[in-house]
């Protein structure tokens, strides 16, 4: 069996490696640029297990466990650190919502802690908590190094014989007798039995070519990074009032972004001065000492948003045989991809649909079984 | 030729007292703090991030930002801040014991060691990395002065006030367009300010040339000038510029931009090339000619080329002994080298010796080893455009043999859309050509903005320019013009980079100074990990991700990777730079919001 994975980001890499360890058939990975290009390398490099929807929380929890285990086998250190997420809650309804969700999280074993403003000031003296009613701290959440995770998968997959075609864009999928037959790539036609589309923001173009539409669209997100400073911000701090978040990397840089409206679509990956101004205002109000931090770099990447803000994996039985997708992560790629790879590989090779995967099938949109997830950060 | 000796030792500005910890030191109001400290014998003014290596300044350009010093209440770049009376400076120069102990193990890959990735050791390591990475603690900075946000509208913005930028500014303003000229230094003139030798190909003496052009532009009513202001890059909505001295953030709104940011001397890669006392060619000239501060008594100048010879010549005139080295044969250049000083060709390896600053230099040449006395080293082997502003714009860059990475533009000096380029920023050598390019870029911009008379003048100037290119043997420019029209460029072999002076990947030869990344780290990435695209090398090692964002390391890394992997430098490529091209404090952006 010849399997082609399209997309060399975290999702494609995880799928390719998971297919390879099952040792069936020949696995090819096509990447239009270089490994990690696209949204993986532009990631904010954080992970969390706290989602509104139980399906997502459960999935992320299992997924991060997989990654932690795998980290020991990688030749790159994924720099996983559970520094926690701190949500600053300014409205009663947010607090109610978190209390409600915390019951579900407790059931999963990842309950968080509620902090009153006094405790916030005590634990994080640099935060201006004057208008904060309460805060929610999720200690199970944390950070990783996005490039190193990808490189780790890449080396593992390469060792197992996955054939990488870098700098090779895929233009089209050729279908014959309701079955995938070939991939049309920049280096010519390639015969395939199975195609996994995992090209993030660029997946829709390929799907639309063969008449498949899923409710997803890329949304540009911008980020700011400051010069490195002595470490002092441990958790990722989310200001639910302004929608801004901020964290510090192991290198000492302070990184953050905020909910900034843009036109959906594959717009240029540039950053706006106006965006930086808004982030700077929001974040210096929350953490006044950051006034003195200097912005060193800004960049942009896409969140591939699905209509229910959750990833899409697997296939619709009505699609041509051999076609699978794994995309629409809605900004949660690094937290979900390790498990997506494992479950999808099992699904492709055995035909069985694992229990954890069921809610995320592409058929959920037409069956109207949407996942109730609206918590997207950034 | 004008005699520079009478300029020597005259310090600029008023004499002021600056305080280093409790020491009262002499400084001058028109010289940067870093220079004042150097003249008082304080060569070590910081420590590097990971290895705590002693660091001085390599260049005085604000964007290089290799170290931050506590000046007054803030952490600032001592090369960007000028001396003020009563200014307090604090240096923290001690190395923690733990870092001393572990420093032999701290390389670009230390965090990937399996032993360290044991669950408990890794937790400990994270704590220690956080504790000991040598970064300023911004929590200790209490107050900041406000920054004004100023919107500036004009027809044309010219970035860089060297010969090309000044010529462009003059030409554009003459055509009646509203023009804004931005320069990061205190005074206009670029290299002409401190390179006291006459300009080849121009009959007028240097001083007169500079005076002429400055007096000519000062008469123009529709030209505004901003000095001490760094152009900080093109955001999607607006380009911006920032002045630390003036505490102003400028939002630029213009119909056309001309980039005339000149060239930088790329640091040479040799053993201990990060020691204090190692400078770029232009920095040494700035120190001696503008600030009257001698870099040392005896120096080593790396490079056999026009620029390095000019540096050596001027140092010699000031009574500073120099030795010239390069890996090419000394006979290959026209100048008579021996009149300047000792000269060593075929130099394979250079090693700077000294614990906290350069004391001696060891060179390996023609199979011999020699130790020379030198208390400073000048890197002048390879001038290159600052590639970041250009590739931040996503404009195409191409590698040309013997020249380096240069931006792709046509003979109208257009980079893309409404952005033009002129002078050293386009890789062009020779001042006379810089002037021509300044004129052409200005005329093209004016024509684009609807100034009819610019059209015929442009063609005439381009004809002259091409003639000059032929005359001066700059054939590669036409390759760039052809390339901009889609004619493919041939394959390049991967030659030895002009900045490379190590025989094998050394642990003490630094490629990236911000992140302490060495030639050995780069070679491991290429040989062990197999990453050869600069974008991937950057991500695996962290080159181009420090404070200078690749200004000093990007070209060196690309050429070194190409050399190690035997790949065409055009396939290794450069990595994308992003706005801002110089770090800007958040308080400046907040001010920006109130306008």
At residue B595, the pLDDT reads 36
pLDDT in tens, A42-76: 999 999 999 999 999 999 999 999 999 999 899 99
Please give, rounded to a whole number of angstroms, the shortest distance from the CA of B466 to a CA of chain A. 36
Which chain B residues are closer than 8 Å to A148 by Cβ? 112
On the question of pLDDT at B144 being above 80, the answer is no
Q: Is A194 in the same domain as A267?
A: no
Residue A80: other Cβ atoms inside 10 A: 19
CATH number, domain with residue B53: 3.10.20.440
Domain span at B43:
4-60+69-135
Q: At what angle do helices B554-565 and B534-541 cross, to 10 degrees?
A: 110
**Which of B450, B465, B484 is the last residue in one of the domains?**
B484
pLDDT band of residue B495 (cuts 50, 70, 90) is confident
Report, as an integer, the average pLDDT of B89-116: 90
In a domain, A374, yes or no: no
Report, as an integer, the average pLDDT of B430-455: 95
**How many domains would you assign to chain A?**
2
Distance CA A341, CA A18 (A): 6
Q: What percent of chain B has pLDDT over 70?
A: 96
In a domain, A78, yes or no: no
In a domain, B143, yes or no: no
Q: Is B323 in the same domain as B189?
A: no
Q: Is A180 in the same domain as A288?
A: no
In a domain, A377, yes or no: no
Which chain B residues are closer than 8 Å to A35 by Cβ? 536
Domain span at A22:
2-71+146-215+308-364
C-beta separation of A54 from A123 below 8 A: no
Q: Helix (H, G, I), strand (E, B), or coil: what is residue B88?
A: strand
Interface predicted TM-score of the whole assembly (ipTM), two decimals:
0.95
Count Cα atoms within 13 angstroms, Cβ side, for B61. Answer: 28
For all residues of chain A together, what is the average pLDDT?
96
At residue B331, the pLDDT reads 67
Q: What angle do CA B575, A168, A27 make, to 5 degrees?
A: 120
Q: Is B342 in the same domain as B412?
A: no
Q: Is B279 in the same domain as B225?
A: no
- CA distances from residue A375 to A98, A144, A341, B240 in whole angstroms, order as listed: 11, 20, 23, 34
CATH number, domain with residue A252: 3.30.9.10
- Cβ of residue A114 closer than 8 Å to a chain B Cβ: no
Burial of B489 (0-12, 13-18, 19+ CB in 10 A): middle
Q: Is B301 in the same domain as B367?
A: yes
Q: Is A49 in the same domain as A113?
A: no
C-beta separation of B425 from B260 below 8 A: yes
In a domain, A372, yes or no: no
Q: Is A268 in the same domain as A169?
A: no
Q: Is A150 in the same domain as A294?
A: no
From A299, which residue of chain B is nearest by alpha-carbon distance? B578
On the question of pLDDT at B593 being above 90, the answer is no
Distance CA B524, CA A129 (A): 47
Q: Is A233 in the same domain as A302?
A: yes
Which chain A residues are closer than 8 Å to B583 by Cβ? 226-227, 294-296
Q: Is B112 in the same domain as B178?
A: no
Q: Is A276 in the same domain as A129?
A: yes
Q: Tokens in use for A245?
A: 């978040």
* Residue indicated by tokens 């923290």: B92
Distance CA B61, CA B47 (A): 19
Q: Is B359 in the same domain as B458?
A: no
On the question of pLDDT at A254 being above 90, the answer is yes
Handedness of CA A312, A317, A318, A322 (dihedral sign): positive
pLDDT band of residue B335 (cuts 50, 70, 90) is low
Q: Is B224 in the same domain as B278?
A: no
On the question of pLDDT at A172 being above 60, the answer is yes
Q: Is B246 in the same domain as B180?
A: yes
Q: Is A91 in the same domain as A198?
A: no
Chosen for mutation from A251, A262, A282 (greatest number of chain B CBs closer than 10 Å) is A251
pLDDT in tens, B276-332: 999 999 999 999 999 999 999 999 999 998 889 999 999 999 999 999 999 988 765
Which chain B residues are closer than 8 Å to A268 by Cβ? 236
Q: Is A152 in the same domain as A298?
A: no
C-beta separation of B285 from B311 below 8 A: yes
**Which of B81, B111, B135 is the last residue in one of the domains?**
B135
Q: Tokens in use for B490?
A: 């041939």
Q: Is B295 in the same domain as B231?
A: no
Q: Is B205 in the same domain as B271?
A: no
In a domain, B496, yes or no: no
Q: Is B111 in the same domain as B246?
A: no
End-to-end, the C-alpha distance of chain B in Å comes to 51
**Which of A306, A333, A348 is the last residue in one of the domains?**
A306
Distance CA B264, CA B386 (A): 6
CATH number, domain with residue A53: 3.50.50.60
**Which of A306, A329, A356 is the last residue in one of the domains?**
A306
Q: Is A20 in the same domain as A161?
A: yes
**How many domains would you assign to chain B?**
3
Please give, rounded to a whole number of angstroms, the shortest distance from the CA of B583 to a CA of chain A. 4
- CA distances from residue A182 to A175, B130, B236 in whole angstroms, order as listed: 7, 50, 39
Report, as an integer, the average pLDDT of A117-122: 96
Q: Which of A320, A301, A311 is nearest to A364 (CA)?
A: A311
Per DSSP, B15 falls in state: E
DSSP for B322-340, please give it: EEEE-SS-GGGSSS--TTT
At residue B104, the pLDDT reads 87
Residue A35 and residue B536: Cβ atoms within 8 Å?
yes
Q: Is A175 in the same domain as A253?
A: no
Q: Is A163 in the same domain as A248?
A: no
At residue A49, the pLDDT reads 96
End-to-end, the C-alpha distance of chain A in Å comes to 40
Which chain A residues are closer than 8 Å to B579 by Cβ? 271, 273, 298
């Amino acid at each position: 069996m010849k399997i082609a994975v399209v997309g060399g980001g975290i999702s494609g890499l995880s799928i390719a490696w998971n297919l390879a360890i099952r040792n069936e058939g020949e696995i090819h990975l096509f990447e239009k640029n270089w490994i990690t290009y696209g949204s993986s390398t532009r990631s904010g490099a954080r992970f969390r297990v706290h989602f509104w929807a139980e399906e997502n929380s459960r999935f992320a929890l299992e997924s991060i466990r997989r990654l932690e285990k795998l980290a020991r086998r990688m030749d790159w250190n994924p720099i996983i650190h559970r520094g926690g997420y701190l949500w600053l809650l300014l409205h009663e309804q947010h607090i109610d919502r978190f209390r409600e969700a915390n019951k579900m999280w407790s059931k999963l074993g990842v309950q968080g802690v509620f902090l009153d403003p006094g405790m916030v000031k005590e634990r994080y003296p640099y935060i201006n908590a004057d208008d904060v009613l309460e805060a929610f701290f999720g200690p199970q959440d944390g950070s990783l190094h996005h490039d190193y995770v990808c490189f780790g998968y890449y080396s593992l997959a390469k060792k197992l014989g996955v054939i990488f075609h870098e700098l090779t864009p895929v233009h089209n999928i050729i279908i014959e007798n309701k079955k995938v037959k070939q991939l049309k790539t920049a280096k010519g036609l390639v015969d395939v039995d199975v195609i996994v589309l995992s090209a993030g923001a660029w997946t829709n173009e390929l799907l639309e070519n063969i008449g498949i539409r899923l409710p997803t669209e890329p949304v540009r997100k911008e980020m700011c990074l400051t010069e490195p400073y002595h470490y002092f911000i441990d958790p990722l701090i989310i200001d639910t009032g302004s929608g801004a978040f901020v964290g510090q990397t192991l290198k000492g840089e302070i990184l953050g972004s905020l909910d900034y409206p843009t036109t959906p679509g594959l717009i240029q990956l540039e950053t706006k001065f106006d965006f930086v101004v808004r982030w700077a205002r929001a974040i210096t109000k929350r953490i006044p000492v950051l006034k003195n931090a200097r912005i060193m770099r800004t960049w942009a990447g896409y969140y591939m948003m699905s209509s229910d803000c959750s990833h899409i994996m697997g296939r619709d039985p009505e699609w041509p045989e051999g076609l699978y997708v794994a995309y629409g992560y809605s900004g949660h790629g690094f937290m979900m991809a390790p498990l997506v790879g494992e479950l999808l590989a099992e699904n492709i090779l055995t035909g069985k649909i694992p229990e954890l995967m069921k809610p995320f099938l592409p058929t959920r949109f037409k069956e109207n079984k949407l996942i109730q997830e609206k918590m997207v950060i950034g | 030729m004008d005699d520079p000796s009478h300029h020597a030792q005259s310090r600029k500005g008023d004499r002021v007292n600056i305080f280093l910890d409790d020491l009262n030191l002499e400084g001058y109001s028109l010289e940067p703090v870093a220079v004042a400290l150097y003249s008082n014998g304080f060569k070590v003014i910081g420590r590097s991030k990971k290895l705590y290596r002693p660091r001085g300044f390599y260049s005085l350009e604000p964007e290089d930002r290799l170290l931050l010093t506590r000046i007054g209440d803030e952490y600032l770049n001592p090369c960007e801040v000028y001396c003020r009376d009563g200014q307090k400076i604090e240096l923290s120069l001690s190395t923690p014991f733990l870092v001393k102990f572990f420093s032999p193990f701290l390389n670009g890959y230390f965090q990937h060691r399996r032993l360290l990735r044991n669950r408990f050791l890794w937790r400990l390591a994270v704590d220690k990395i956080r504790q000991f990475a040598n970064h300023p603690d911004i929590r200790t900075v209490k107050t900041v002065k406000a920054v004004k946000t100023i919107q500036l509208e004009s027809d044309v913005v010219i970035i860089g006030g060297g010969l090309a930028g000044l010529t462009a500014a003059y030409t554009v303003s003459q055509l009646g367009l509203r023009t804004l000229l931005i320069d990061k230094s205190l005074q206009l003139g670029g290299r002409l300010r401190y390179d006291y030798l006459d300009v080849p190909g121009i009959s007028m003496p240097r001083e007169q040339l500079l005076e002429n052009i400055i007096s000519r532009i000062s008469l123009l009513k529709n030209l505004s000038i901003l000095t001490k202001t760094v152009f900080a890059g093109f955001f999607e909505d607006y380009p911006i510029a920032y002045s630390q001295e003036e505490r102003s953030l400028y939002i630029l709104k213009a119909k056309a931009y001309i980039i005339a940011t000149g060239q930088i001397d790329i640091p040479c890669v040799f053993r201990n090339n990060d020691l204090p006392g190692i400078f770029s060619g232009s920095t040494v000239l700035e120190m001696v000619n503008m600030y009257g501060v001698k870099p040392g008594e005896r120096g080593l100048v790396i490079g056999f080329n026009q620029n390095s010879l000019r540096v050596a010549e001027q140092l010699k005139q000031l009574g500073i002994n120099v030795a010239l080295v390069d890996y090419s044969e000394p006979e290959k250049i026209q100048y008579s080298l021996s009149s300047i000083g000792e000269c060593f060709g075929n130099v394979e390896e250079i090693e700077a010796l000294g614990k906290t600053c350069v004391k001696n230099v060891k060179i390996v040449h023609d199979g011999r080893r020699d130790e020379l006395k030198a208390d400073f080293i000048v890197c002048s082997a390879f001038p290159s455009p600052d590639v970041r502003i250009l590739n931040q714009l996503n404009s195409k860059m191409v590698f040309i043999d013997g020249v380096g990475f240069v931006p792709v533009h046509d003979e109208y000096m257009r980079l893309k859309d409404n952005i033009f380029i002129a002078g050293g920023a386009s890789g062009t050598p020779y001042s006379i050509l810089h002037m021509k390019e300044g004129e052409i870029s200005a005329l093209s911009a004016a024509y684009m903005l609807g100034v009819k008379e610019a059209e015929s003048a442009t063609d005439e100037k381009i004809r002259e320019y091409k003639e000059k290119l032929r005359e001066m043997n700059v054939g590669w420019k036409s390759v760039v013009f052809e390339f901009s029209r889609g004619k493919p460029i041939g394959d390049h072999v991967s030659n030895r980079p002009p900045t490379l002076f190590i025989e094998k990947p050394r642990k003490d030869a630094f490629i990236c100074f911000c992140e302490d990344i060495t030639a050995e780290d780069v070679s491991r990435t290429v040989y062990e990990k197999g990453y050869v695209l600069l974008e991937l090398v950057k991500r695996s090692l962290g080159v181009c991700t420090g404070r200078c964002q690749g200004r000093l390391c990007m070209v060196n890394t690309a050429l070194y990777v190409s050399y190690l992997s035997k790949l065409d430098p055009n396939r290794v490529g450069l990595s994308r730079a992003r706005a801002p091209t110089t770090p800007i404090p958040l308080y400046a952006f907040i001010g920006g919001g109130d306008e």
